[in-house]
Amino acid sequence: MHAAKFIDAITNDYELFTYYFTRAGRLPSNKSYLNDKMFASDFFSRYREQLENSLCLNVENPMFEKSMILCKDSVRKVLFTDVDIKRELDEKEYYLNMLYYE
């Protein structure tokens, strides 16, 4: 119960949120804060767009572990090889959709 109150406080209390964000460098977990002028940049506009179009992966789904392997593989390829990033992400998106929705 205390953990829930703590999470609620740092995501809904603007002063606590600002302190944690500036000290920890974490992105906000409460989407309503993203409209603040502090987040008026290309990076945060892209982040907001991703939030609007993203879905959470269900950890209780039997395919969750396989989906994490795909995500890890994609990150490794993007960071450490000369892969076409768009093609790599499109391919992994295709496989994730197969795992979760078919």
- Same domain? For 47 and 78 the reply is no
Over residues 9-27, the pLDDT tens digits come to 766 777 777 776 676 665 5
- Same domain? For 75 and 35 the reply is no
CA distance 24 to 35: 20
Where are the extended beta strands (E) located within 1-102? none
Overall domain count for the chain: 2
Look up the domain containing 69 and give its range.
64-101
Report yes or no on whether pTM surpasses 0.95: no
- Same domain? For 46 and 6 the reply is yes
At residue 47, φ and ψ (nearest 5 deg) are -60, -45
pLDDT score recorded for residue 14: 73
- Same domain? For 48 and 68 the reply is no
Domain assignment present for residue 58? The answer is: no
Q: How far is CA 27 from the centre of its chain?
A: 9
Domain assignment present for residue 30? The answer is: yes
What does R_g of the chain's alpha carbons equal in angstroms? 17
